[in-house]
Structure formats: structure tokens, C-alpha cells
Amino acid sequence: MKPDDNILEIINATKEFPGVTALDNASFNVKYGEIHCLVGENGAGKSTLIKILSGFYPAGSYSGRIIFNGKEIGFRSTNDSRLAGISTIYQELPLVEQLNITENIALGNEISCFGVINSSTAYNLAGQCLKTVGLDVNPGTLVADISVGQQQLVAIAKALSQKSQLLILDEPTASLSDDDAEKLLEILSSLKKEGITIIYISHRLKEILKIADRVTVMRDGKIINTCDKAGLTESKLIRTMVGRELTKKYPRKEHAPGEIVLAVSHLSVHNESSNKTLQDITFSLRKGEILGLTGLVGAGRTELAMSLFGVWGKVVSGNVLIDGQELAIKSPEKTIAAGLGLVSEDRKRLGLVMADNIIANINLTSIKNISPKGVVNEAKSILNADKYVKQLNIRTPSLEQAAGNLSGGNQQKVVLGKWLSTPLKVLIFDEPTRGIDVEAKSEIYEIINQLVDRGIGIMIISSELEEILGICDRILVMYEGRISKELPIKEATQEKIMFYETGGAGKYAE
């Protein structure tokens, strides 16, 4: 195969979910031995596209054609994709920390004879693959004992051991230090010289401009443009990625913020299990204000929310005040008692008990109020649940309905009912409208405005810049565990936000 030949062609690929077209008639090609970068906002369709290529979404669950190495293919599983020569490495690395490097590289592709694994051959192969990716570590080392950057290289070594021709990397540097990220880019450039084709997905535009041969921009499930790197700038990429005007679908209200209700001062938090850090976070939130928090994948938005709620990391320095009283970030129980609630982005896993009914879920945070002497008062629990079902217009045949049987929008309202049952001062929403329909979105926005009218301080974390610009009074932008910029809503634009999201320093050039 020659350098100008296509190793991969995607023709009119379409993938739909109930009420959502995640991939819309997408077509593009990847040339043999190139580094082809794929960019776009969160939700643009990049992940859906690579899940089709990886076999995660099997043939038949989407329409369109995929041609790899000159043959039309339709993978039924991720194993089919791997055997064909495509390896996909997601941000969450496919490694088992309790196993050593050799065992991880061999996992799923064991070298054996008569059912007995040949350990010495596996060890030697692992050593060769580590050498190819420039990692000078003993193959017998536990994965748990090496850095995140080294783990990323082990994942690539594993792909090379499987004779991969096409390597797909999804946000590979999101959790890496600058030095580790730079080393990874150098390794990928050397793999390209050896004939490995790479699809590279990243929000870090500086990396894209440094490593790409060609760049494809996606937006709203569509391929917008594919072009050579020559002549591209960060500004041009951002404008192509955004490419639309803010619509009038957000019920903006003028708010009159009051006194500071949440004050975060020089907060630094470290999480040992993920090796992530929040650094020197300082901001304030006023009563009756909507504060937006945005940033790209890995920027630390959700980690900040979870650390304030007491379920992520260990506070290294700094302090948090709620209504002037210091908050000891130790547990959700203490945080809730202080008046701070969190509507998690993963409502099915962290916001609700899906098998329990509406009554049980709405009363989760106020169980003490309906349990005199430690015994639940069933009548009180039913009355409390019924109050919020009516107030929030939760569509359900009965209060006994399991949360798992409700629509996404009604599930989110049940989560809100749970928090409205407590004496709130601050409520943090993490991706409040993800996975819900347009009508339910509008209702959620109206509820948020009602909470603001009651003097509650609201923080909204969202990947949708239109949403952030449509309903917030102020915007904080995060980049690599820090607050990189604060923007008054009158000065904020999608392009300006993306400039600071992608590591832009200094003043944005209009």
C-alpha cells in the first residue's frame, strides 16, 4: 500500500439513538501511514464514529459502509476489529493495574502451547514492544507502580503486539503532564515513520497543529471539513468547530445576585487513585446567581464539583465557606447539612436508585425528617414525594413507579425533587440536560430560574457552550485542573471560551 492510498474509508455512516442522530451521513478517509486528527466540540459525533470502527457498535446498528484495507467490513464485536488490525485506546486505559506489564500486553492474546501460557516468550515480546514505544521499564513491573504517562505507552505497546495497522487514540494526553504528552507525540511520530496509521482525537489544538498531517472537523454528527494542516491556525479550527449562532431556545432571565453564598479560596485537591489534581481554585458564587463552569474533557470540572461535595480527592490546601461558615470537606452528609447539593452528571449511577420507586428516591436526602425515632413515617414520605411530583410535573402513572422506568427528563426531575426536599443554599448541576428531550430541557431551565428566584446559588457544569451562554450570569473556564479565565456573560462568546478551554494564555484576540 502506497502513502497516498486510503487505508480506511467511511461512506455515509449514520448512527441513531431514540430521538438523537449521533452520526449523520458522515464520510471521510484516512491515508496509509498518516496521522489524521479528528476534532469537534463535545457531542460532535467523534466518539460514536470510533465506536463504530472499534466494533463497540456492531454492524447492523448503523447504516453506511466502511472499507478497510480495500475490503468492505462490518465488525460484530470489538474482537473482530482488533483481529482486522484496528486498535482503539480510550481515555480510560484498558489495563489491569493488579497485573504486570507483560500480563497486560498478553491479555486477550495469550501465547500458549497445549493450553499452557509461555511466560518467557510473552516477557520477551513485551520487552520488544516497550522498546518500540521508548519505555525503559522492566516488563515484570506492576502497572499500578508506573505513571499514567507510562501506562499510556503500555497500552500502545499492547496494540503493537497485536499487529495493529490502524491505531485510534481518544484524548490520549488528557491525564498526562506536559512532559509526558510531549513524549507521547514523539512516539506517535516515530510509529508513523514505521507505517502505523493513526487517528488522533484531542481537544488540545496545539497538539493537533503539531502532529497532524490532515484534520477532520465534526459538528452535530456531521463531517464539516477535512483539510491539510498547512495554513491551519487555532482560530480557524475553533471557528469551524463552533460554526453556528446562539439560538433563542434558552429562557434567560435577568437576575439580581445577592451576597456571596459560596466562597472557594486557593483550593488544591489531589486524588491518588487517578493521579489528578485541582490546583489553586478560587471563585465565589452569589445568592440568586447562575455561575457556569466549562472546560474540555479532563479539565477537572466534575472533579471540582465532586470534591466540594466531599466524594473526590483529599484537600491539600485552601478553604471553602458556605454563608460565611467554613465547610469541612469530609463527607456528603456534612456537605448536605451545610446546604450544598450536587445533581450528578451520571444520574443513573450516582443520582438515583434505579430499582427503587419515586417515593424512596425523592426522600433519599431527607430521610431524617420523615423518620422520627429512626422509623420511617410512610405517610410523610408519600406526602413529600407527591408534593414534588406535582411541583415538578413529573410524568408517572404512580408514585410507586421505579425510577428506572421513567424517561430521562423525568428521572432528572426526581433527582431535583430529592434536593428540593433539603434546605438548599447552593446547588451544583453537572450536565443538567444531558440525554433529555427538548421539552424536558425547557422545563429544567425554568426550574433552575425558580431556584434562583428563591435566592439559591446555582453552579452549572456543561459541555454545551450554547447552554452555558444561554442561561448563565458568569462563566468560569477550566483548563488542566485550574480556572483559566472568568468571563462576564456580556463579554463571553463560544470562540472566546474555546480559546481559554484549549490553553490560550493572555487576552483573546478578537
Q: How confident is the model at residue 273 (pLDDT cuts 50, 70, 90)?
A: confident
The closest alpha carbon to 154, from 177, 179, 173, 135, belongs to 135
Q: How confident is the model at residue 246 (pLDDT cuts 50, 70, 90)?
A: very low
425 has pLDDT over 50: yes
Q: Which pLDDT does position 245 carry in this prediction?
A: 46
pLDDT tens, position by position, 282-332 = 999 999 999 999 987 778 999 999 999 999 989 999 999 999 999 988 888
- Average pLDDT for 52-77: 92
Mean pLDDT of the chain: 86
Residues paired with 314 in a beta bridge: 270
Task: Specify whether the CB–CB gap between 101 and 83 falls below 8 A.
Answer: no
Judged by average pLDDT, the poorest of 39-53, 155-169, 234-248, 308-322 is 234-248
125 has pLDDT over 70: yes
The closest alpha carbon to 417, from 444, 398, 397, belongs to 444
| % of the chain residues with pLDDT over 70 | 92
Q: How large is the C-alpha radius of gyration of the chain?
A: 25
DSSP string, 164-220: -SEEEEESTTTTS-HHHHHHHHHHHHHHHHTT-EEEEE-S-HHHHHHH-SEEEEEET
Top-ranked range on mean pLDDT: pick from 107-111, 227-231, 294-298, 323-327: 323-327
- Average pLDDT for 236-250: 68
Distance CA 98, CA 107 (A): 13
Q: How confident is the model at residue 473 (pLDDT cuts 50, 70, 90)?
A: very high
Distance CA 393, CA 410 (A): 8
Q: Which pLDDT does position 91 carry in this prediction?
A: 72
Q: Domain 1-85+165-244 carries which CATH code? A: 3.40.50.300
254-339+424-510 belongs to which homologous superfamily? P-loop containing nucleotide triphosphate hydrolases (3.40.50.300)
What 3-state class would DSSP assign to 84?
A: helix
Q: How confident is the model at residue 123 (pLDDT cuts 50, 70, 90)?
A: confident
65 has pLDDT over 70: yes
Distance CA 288, CA 450 (A): 10
- Average pLDDT for 44-67: 91
pLDDT tens, position by position, 389-405 = 998 888 888 899 999 88
Task: Specify whether the CB–CB gap between 76 and 55 falls below 8 A.
Answer: yes
- More confident position, 71 or 92: 71
- Average pLDDT for 410-423: 89
- End-to-end Cα separation, the chain, in angstroms: 45
Beta strands at 214-219 and 222-228: parallel, antiparallel or unpaired: antiparallel
- More confident position, 510 or 479: 479
260 has pLDDT over 60: yes
Beta strands at 63-68 and 6-17: parallel, antiparallel or unpaired: antiparallel
105 has pLDDT over 50: yes
Distance CA 40, CA 224 (A): 10
Q: Which pLDDT does position 508 carry in this prediction?
A: 63
211 has pLDDT over 60: yes
